[in-house]
Structure 1
Amino acid sequence: MPCRGFACGAALGFLGDLVVGDPRRGHPVAAFGRAAHALEQRLWRDDRGRGALYAAVCTGTTVAGAALLARAVRGRRGADVALTAAVTWAVIGGTSLAREARAIGGALAAGDLEVARERLPHLCGRDPSSLDAQQIARAVVESVAENTSDAVVGALVWGALAGVPGLLGFRAVNTLDAMVGHKSPRHRRFGWASARLDDVVGWPGARLTAALAVLAAPDPRGAARVARRDAHRHPSPNAGPVEAAFAGALGVRLGGTLAYGGRVEHRPVLGAELRAVRTGDIERAVRLSRRVSLLALGCAIGGRAVGSLLKAGTTRTGKARNR
Structure 2
Amino acid sequence: MAEPVALTALALDAAFGWPEALYRRIGHPVGLFARIIDGCEARWNRAAHGFAKRRVLGVLTLIILLIVSAGLGWAAQGLLLAALGGWGWIGVAVLAWPALAQRSLFDHVRAVAERVDAGDLPGARDAVAMIVGRDTAALDEAGVSRAAIESLAESFCDGVVAPQFWLLLLGLPGVWAYKAVNTADSLIGHREERWRAFGWAAARFDDLANWIPARLSGGLICLAGGGGWRILCRDAHKHASPNAGWPEAAMAGALGLRLAGPIAYDGVMHDKSWIGDGAIEARGDAGGEDIDHALAIYLRACLLLWLVAGGAAWLR
1:144 aligns with 2:152: yes
- For the residue of structure 1 that corresponds to 2:126, the secondary structure is helix
Tell me, in whole angstroms, the C-alpha distance in 1 between the residues paired with 2:313 and 2:184.
Answer: 27
1:233 aligns with 2:242: no
Tell me, in whole angstroms, the C-alpha distance in 2 between the residues paired with 1:82 and 1:260.
Answer: 42
Shift of 1:285: 1.2
Q: Is the 8 A contact 2:248 2:259 kept in 1?
A: yes
Equivalent of residue 162 in structure 2, options 154, 177, 184: 154
- For the residue of structure 2 that corresponds to 1:264, the secondary structure is strand
TM-score between the two structures when normalised by the length of structure 1 = 0.87
Tell me, in whole angstroms, the C-alpha distance in 2 between the residues paired with 1:251 and 1:206.
Answer: 20
Equivalent of residue 130 in structure 1, options 124, 135, 138: 138
Shift of 1:304: 7.5
Tell me, in whole angstroms, the C-alpha distance in 1 between the residues paired with 2:62 and 2:119.
Answer: 43
Tell me, in whole angstroms, the C-alpha distance in 2 between the residues paired with 1:86 and 1:224.
Answer: 36
Q: Is the 8 A contact 1:87 1:168 kept in 2?
A: no
Q: Is the 8 A contact 1:43 1:54 kept in 2?
A: no
Q: Is the 8 A contact 2:235 2:275 kept in 1?
A: yes
Aligned residue number for residue 195 of structure 2: 187
Q: Is the 8 A contact 1:138 1:254 kept in 2?
A: yes
Q: Which runs of 5+ in 2 are unaligned?
A: 48-53
Aligned residue number for residue 224 of structure 1: 229
Equivalent of residue 61 in structure 1, options 48, 59, 68: 68
Cα 1:42–1:301 shift into 2, 3 Å: farther
Q: Which moved more, 1:49-58 or 1:28-37?
A: 28-37
Where do 4+ consecutive residues of structure 1 move more than 4 Å?
300-306
- For the residue of structure 1 that corresponds to 2:173, the secondary structure is helix
Equivalent of residue 101 in structure 2, options 81, 93, 99: 93
Paired residue total: 299
Shift of 1:300: 4.5
Q: Deviation per CA, 1:115-174, whole angstroms, max 9, x where unpaired?
A: 112222211111101111110100000000000000000110111111111111111111
1:50 aligns with 2:46: no
Across the aligned residues of Structure 1 and Structure 2, the Cα RMSD in angstroms comes to 1.9
Cα 1:286–1:170 shift into 2, 3 Å: same
Aligned residue number for residue 118 of structure 1: 126
In the TM superposition, what are the counterparts of 1:1-323 in structure 2 within 5 Å?
5-24=1-20, 25=23, 26-46=27-47, 47-74=54-81, 76-83=85-92, 85-218=93-226, 220=227, 223-275=228-280, 276-300=285-309, 302=311
Q: Is the 8 A contact 1:105 1:282 kept in 2?
A: yes
Tell me, in whole angstroms, the C-alpha distance in 1 between the residues paired with 2:279 and 2:201.
Answer: 36
Shift of 1:38: 2.4
Q: Is the 8 A contact 1:11 1:297 kept in 2?
A: yes
Cα 1:293–1:274 shift into 2, 3 Å: farther
Q: Is the 8 A contact 2:3 2:168 kept in 1?
A: no
Q: Deviation per CA, 1:19-54, whole angstroms, max 9, x where unpaired?
A: 111233222222332333223222323521111111
- For the residue of structure 2 that corresponds to 1:235, the secondary structure is coil
Q: Is the 8 A contact 2:4 2:313 kept in 1?
A: no
- For the residue of structure 2 that corresponds to 1:259, the secondary structure is strand
- For the residue of structure 1 that corresponds to 2:258, the secondary structure is strand
Q: Is the 8 A contact 2:4 2:309 kept in 1?
A: no
Cα 1:82–1:45 shift into 2, 3 Å: same
Residue identity in the other structure for 1:38 = G
Q: Which moved more, 1:205-214 or 1:276-285?
A: 276-285
Give identity over the alignment, percent.
35
Residue identity in the other structure for 2:155 = N
Tell me, in whole angstroms, the C-alpha distance in 1 between the residues paired with 2:290 and 2:253.
Answer: 13
Residue identity in the other structure for 2:307 = G
Cα 1:232–1:178 shift into 2, 3 Å: same
Q: Which runs of 5+ in 1 are unaligned?
A: 310-323
Aligned residue number for residue 50 of structure 2: none
- For the residue of structure 2 that corresponds to 1:216, the secondary structure is helix
Residue identity in the other structure for 1:250 = L
Shift of 1:186: 1.8
Q: Is the 8 A contact 1:213 1:245 kept in 2?
A: yes
- For the residue of structure 1 that corresponds to 2:272, the secondary structure is strand
Q: Which moved more, 1:15-24 or 1:233-242?
A: 15-24
Q: Is the 8 A contact 2:224 2:298 kept in 1?
A: no
